Amino acid sequence: MSLPFFISVLIILIYIVLFMKKKLSFTANAIQFLVLSIISTNYITILTYNLEWMKASEDVIQFISLLINRECILPLVGVIMANGNLYYVKRRDKVICFLCLLFFISVLDVLHVYFHSLSYPEWSLLNTVIINGVYLLICIWMGKGLYHLMKKEEGRIGQNL
């Protein structure tokens, strides 16, 4: 049951990223996606296998849904967060975007526990929410850095990054 759900969420997020208004170029979004994919993979791998604070399921289907979440869904949420933060002007809109995406990825973690693809023997969901908030702040920081580089390159050469 978890694999079709996470595939559906992935498809919906792909459509959202394709059709949303973006301040970052395609190259900057691709760089951000790849770096966030590496960060989320290493974060879950360290917590699961090295520190053993989380335990991944032994079932292949459940594990594939966990892979889809950490390799595709979390980086897509990061791209949405970075572009949303750059696109919105009002602080209230930025905070609403941050809280909605934080709630979304926290619900995904709760669903992983519900579907038994993750368990937390020495970790809690509160810690996961805090880490998800830090992840979204990293996404904002990285998006602002890439936007700055993009504008600097655009002004110097007349090309986009």
Domain presence at residue 47: yes
Domain presence at residue 161: no
The predicted-structure confidence for 95-149, as pLDDT tens digits, reads as follows 999 999 999 999 998 998 898 888 877 778 888 899 999 999 999 999 999 999 9
Number of domains in the chain: 1
Domain presence at residue 152: yes
3-class secondary structure, 137: helix
Residues of the domain holding 67: 32-156
> In angstroms, how far is CA 1 from the centroid of its own chain?
22
In this prediction, residue 160 carries a pLDDT of 60
Q: DSSP string spanning 62-102?
A: HHHHHHHIIIIIHHHHHHHHHHHHHH--SHHHHHHHHHHHH
Domain presence at residue 16: no
Domain presence at residue 84: yes
